[in-house]
Structure 1
């Protein structure tokens, strides 16, 4: 891992500058997710990490994944997004979802999330916005703020109404 993933101080500063709850949602297992986040230096920048194991715990609790009817619940399954959004306690319409996979972005958009495709600046059908990398986020903020219903005043006690969901890019 260490040969391919290096600490990203600029990304860390960017994440900590954003006064919104942030979550990682990855199809990777817990160990891989933890290693990637640690090597990037951002393991403490998120309120939670949804990975293969705990997503299946959510599916078990919801009665989706049972011994009689085993299921693999992960992105881009609509049910996977619904489980994660329910767990963090917000409707999809209040989630800003970033991912480098077009199929994951498209699925998140289909369930109602605002989506950003990472890895290209070219606008793609199925993504609300596109950006070359997460470092471009400060430049994109005016465009994000102009999206209907995404940014709004939050009354005390309703701080979780605007969420940022970061898909896996490692």
Structure 2
């Protein structure tokens, strides 16, 4: 059997692999002619030809710019479905009833207190806990979300098709509780469109009933005028701190990034809250304000409806991640997640 140089044999095998990977007619012709050379031909000549092919493909494929986005981060309430559904209005009503029936707050003050707590803390629950009210978080969510008109939400095949066609990771980031988020996604027909869900329980694993309150908070409990005075204070640093981790506070975003392994510089964040969008922008996210076509400070894009995503951001479908196209998830992801809750 004639001697075959092992180095030359490796080069020939490389060329055959090239034909398999890049089976265009011109490439096949070239490689076949090269493989037809006698083993007695100069090894140096063949090596230079192989090197030329290798450099050609490295130049062609290694200089493709990296995709701008690696992850899409979505809020749920009033983002994946419109405000006109009526869930937000019903949720506000339920919160005020909880404040009256469960916390004993005066009925004639409850609307204004709820407004200023939500404005300052991102969720009414976070504000109530900040000013000294202690209650079971599950009881609160059951009371506030358990009576929502979920029947107003209908399957959204347009949104489902858009999400499934996006060749990028998709993650939910909501202040809502896991039961509520699961119901919303199921009603919309989107439960298998996301890699994972970050919910209230993800960031707040300890129930509120076992958490003690600070002295400053205890002084405010049940005193409507003092609550209003404290939360209307123009100095944010004077506000009582809340034990709740939620948007729009930076620690909520930071925890979400760690949990879902998210690089904010490579992530596009969709939310209906201007304040959430502004915080997201401050910590490095690319941002999309949903529910209005008017961009505000902190918003890179503004969409009247989430359905406008393809028209506003066609580059999401041009990402160099086509291998992920059409990915569905089991729908049994660990649902862990704003309405005014």
TM bin (shorter chain): 0.7 to 0.9
Q: Say whether the 8 Å CA contact 1:100–1:169 is kept in structure 2.
A: no
SS in 1 for 2:152: coil
Q: Which structure shows the higher helix fraction?
A: 2
**Is residue 288 of structure 2 the alignment partner of residue 128 of structure 1?**
no
**Is residue 245 of structure 2 the alignment partner of residue 97 of structure 1?**
no
- Picking from 43, 46, 52, the partner of 2:194 is 46
1:120-166: per-residue Cα shift (whole Å, max 9, x none)?
Answer: 11121111110111110110124x66xxxxx9757x9xxxxxxxxxx
Distance 1:97 1:132 in 2: 15
- Picking from 149, 159, 163, the partner of 1:11 is 159
Distance 1:102 1:4 in 2: 25
Q: Say whether the 8 Å CA contact 2:176–2:339 is kept in structure 1.
A: no
Query: Which residue in the other structure is 1:25 paired with?
Result: 173
Deviation (angstroms), 1:110: 1.0
Sort the Cα spacing of 1:19 and 1:153 in 2 relative to 1 into closer, same or farther, 3 A: closer
**Is residue 309 of structure 2 the alignment partner of residue 137 of structure 1?**
yes
Mean alpha-carbon deviation: is it higher for 121-130 or for 13-22? 121-130
Q: Which structure shows the higher strand fraction?
A: 1
Indicate the RMSD between aligned Cα atoms, in angstroms.
2.8
1:75-113: per-residue Cα shift (whole Å, max 9, x none)?
Answer: 001010111111111221111000011111111111110
Distance 1:168 1:46 in 2: 17
Deviation (angstroms), 1:169: 7.5
Larger radius of gyration: 2
Deviation (angstroms), 1:3: 3.0
Q: Say whether the 8 Å CA contact 2:167–2:319 is kept in structure 1.
A: no
Sort the Cα spacing of 1:152 and 1:18 in 2 relative to 1 into closer, same or farther, 3 A: closer
TM-score (norm 1): 0.76
Mean alpha-carbon deviation: is it higher for 111-120 or for 81-90? 81-90
SS in 2 for 1:85: helix
Distance 2:166 2:319 in 1: 15
